[in-house]
Structure 1
Amino acid sequence: MSADAKKSFTFTGWHMVAVMVSFFGVIIAVNFTMAYLATSSWSGLVVKNTYVASQEFNGKTAAIREMLSTGIVGETKVTVSGIRYRLMLPGNVPVVADSVLAHFKRPVGVEHDFELALTPAGDGLYIADRDIQPGNWIVEIMAKTDGRTIMHEANRITVSGE
């Protein structure tokens, strides 16, 4: 054998240990990161008390059926500068409500949630001006007349930064 001959690589037990530690180290690091992000970003609560929510289900369902039978429809438009909400009956007949409240919720987390009271602008249009951060929102709108809910809807929207 000459002095110029290269020694070939030999995969040893130490190499295998390094591969195993690297492999499982990455898996463990990813799992801990995902667990931290999951527990720190969303409370997981949909309702505060599931038993009470289950007892109220039939009443809420009947109220929604009654509300839908009126034919009232709402049209929501949200921009970074505010919200425009129009209430109409079939045939483009405007609906007058005593109060319209919009509750903005992020799909994950509660730190950015807020409510807006919309003011009437005529012809069934209700508006509120406020800076709204771009991103995904769930906008829950409730309109009432004479203390009775005439429209209650929730829409998932995306507000662009433009």
Structure 2
Amino acid sequence: MSVDTREPREFTGRHMLATILAFFGVVIGVNLTMATLANTSWTGLVVENTYVASQQFNQKAEEGRVQAALGWTGKLTIAGGEVRYSLSDADGKPVPLHGVKVLFRHPAYEAGDKAVTLALSSGQEFAAQHTPRDGVWIVEVDADAGLAEPYRQVRRIMISQGALQ
């Protein structure tokens, strides 16, 4: 057996200074990283002015009840790089539309939001070329059916391999 004859190293003030600087350097670095990520991602803003939105709530709820009373059903399909939309009445007959706009909103950030205007393709079906990225989307469809307000349909959807799931 050998005996360790080395002298123990001493913890000096320089070691303490390096430890403190390393600790606070990590804390500041993490804070700057998190602040940068928070500043460049979704703002969390849902409406510009919550007071105005609260004043419009009853009116929007009534519009929703009137629309639901129509008994119309919207059909949205996304596949093969194409977005298609059609609207049928309570009896299953196509509702004549004058135009359709679709807004794809990402629930977590606004950078990927995309508005698409669909054009009449066949019968009363509207279509446009668009392939949303895979993931969860909030889709807002505004269909002009000749009513006072556009027929509005909002859905949360999942896109996988370029197709609606």
Q: Which structure 2 residues correspond to residues 1-162 of structure 1 after superposition, within 5 A? A: 3=3, 30=30, 32-79=32-79, 81-162=81-162
8 Å contact from structure 2 (residues 86, 126) kept in 1? yes
Contact 1:143 1:149 in 2 (8 A): no
Give distance in 2, aligned partners of 1:3 and 1:123.
94
Report the RMSD for the aligned CA atoms in angstroms: 3.2
CA distance in 2, matches of 1:43, 1:2: 65
How high is the TM-score relative to the length of structure 2?
0.73
Count of aligned pairs between the two proteins: 161
TM-superposed CA distance for 1:93, in Å, is 1.4
SS of the residue 1:67 aligns to: helix
CA distance in 2, matches of 1:88, 1:23: 64
Maintained 8 Å contact 1:67/1:150: no
TM-score, normalised relative to structure 1: 0.74
Measured at CA, do residues 154 and 22 of structure 1 come closer, stay the same or move farther in structure 2, by a change above 3 Å? farther
Are the aligned partners of 1:80 and 1:161 in contact in 2 as well (CA < 8 Å)? Answer: no
CA distance in 2, matches of 1:156, 1:21: 48
* AA matched with 2:96: V
Where do 5+ consecutive residues of structure 1 fail to align? 5-17
- The Cα of 1:37 is off from its aligned counterpart by 1.8
Moved more, 150-159 or 48-57: 150-159
Q: Distance in 2 between matches of 1:64 and 1:2?
A: 87
Deviation at 1:154?
A: 1.5
Q: Identical aligned pairs, as a percentage?
A: 37
